[in-house]
Structure 1
């Protein structure tokens, strides 16, 4: 472990130099505003403004509504410019370039191919285009001495009826860049059971799934993600905290609170099912409304201190105007974390990655060595 890495020392670190793992990051939520402006005219799409800075601000303001439904509406503008192979490849390339600039060494980019067919592409062609952009960016990074591994998480839209087709798509590309499956879109009222046949097919083929749950919907959505979706990770999963009872008057040493887990929380905790927590996004969408409206009221620390396998993620870098470095800085400021905490959270993400064990072991060793080097 690292030594003498107090919260004050952590706050002085340039977080961009810390090696990071990105597990929950949407392709259509990570475009550069200037790219959207550049591509919109050719796509025949009208934007709220053609000034990149003003457009970036518009996305954040529109998403900061406390409603997941309103939050999702902002994606109409990004998806509109992602309907050709060239545009998809460019967006994917720049997406990875921005990860590299933020110090990410392993990333999983999730996106829904079925939303990118308006220009005549087939599902397979969309996946191939995104992979081409990923490959170009990773090769350029490697040539510059900055190694990064990036895999695709193919998502099915939960309100549509294409789950089985998208699951088959993911399986066709499992050895060509796709590392996992997800479902996205409006969570409340569109549970994983709607796509049960897709999840069953994936499980039968030993292909990993992460499921958005415990964000706009509560504990039942988490149970369904685990029981029906065979989820190995929970996308967000933050509302698992609603199944915790905290007793501040338990008489424990040092005034510590006694935390009691309900049945769903116990299952997730005992089996160390990873939570893909996205602090800034959770504030924007109202996912933590039961706990508060400020980052220091986010149950992130409660879950971390209780022993849940929590990971730090951005969700959508454009609409939250954030990076993984920013999210780390916010957590240090809100909860007084030191670099040992940031290392522990990063290693949680390594463990949770949909990568071979040999890759995860190498990542863990390299990341730990990098953190150790910060103290000489």
Structure 2
């Protein structure tokens, strides 16, 4: 397993990060424990969760993922072996069950969310605490174009960053990160940190995969020059790039089969491009999912690639991608497809 420095910190994180958003919905605690054990054996030391997980969010399963991870730490006593990341939710539809829908990134809500996560995770600290998505109205979660709303009200970024800095100084969190953030938001947070002497964002967790390489347009240079690397989520585009949904197939336990809300990568352009990537992998004797994951992990702006699985078989395949180096021939073919069908999914 390769290890990379997290931002400007002294932490080394594995190039693959264990994603957890299915735990408590598609996976029970025993299955989650088996995934953690296998990932640790493979050299993964980085685990990512969120107060909102599992997904899709429901009142009945709210925060189950953090509780499962907390139960692991209590049972195994290996908290110090892990770089633990979690996130505070922002405002949005369908999550009124979280703090009664009071999800502004202000002092009260950040402190309340953090304290609750620490209790569920059964730990005294979180290594990386991230803003799950911006409170302000901007383009994220499948929106490429920005439409300004002049009268939109949101918590000043100064207040948000100051309270996060206070939590770092209190020892509750070690570092802060962004997620689903834009170039403007990322630079603004970095600028504020430097001008006020507050804690600096060390990472940004955004979608990145063969169907959505929009991170390269405005954020890749920031990630490299500012040492605020990408934690890439959805590297398999909700499983589309594994090839299991080819020709309209809908496996019984597939996420797209179970949950109609996951349509981000299902438009005709994405389906067509996905088929070309899957075919390319098979032409070269590669597993499509491993090719897609290896492409993401190899990018110079990526700190860690967040892999998720609903079975140990899937996890084994994802782990094997860490040993795959794509040939120049394959990389050139990927670029050719990308040039002809750039970013078909937002």
TM-score of the aligned structures, taking structure 1 as reference length:
0.43
In proportion to residue count, which structure has more helix? 1
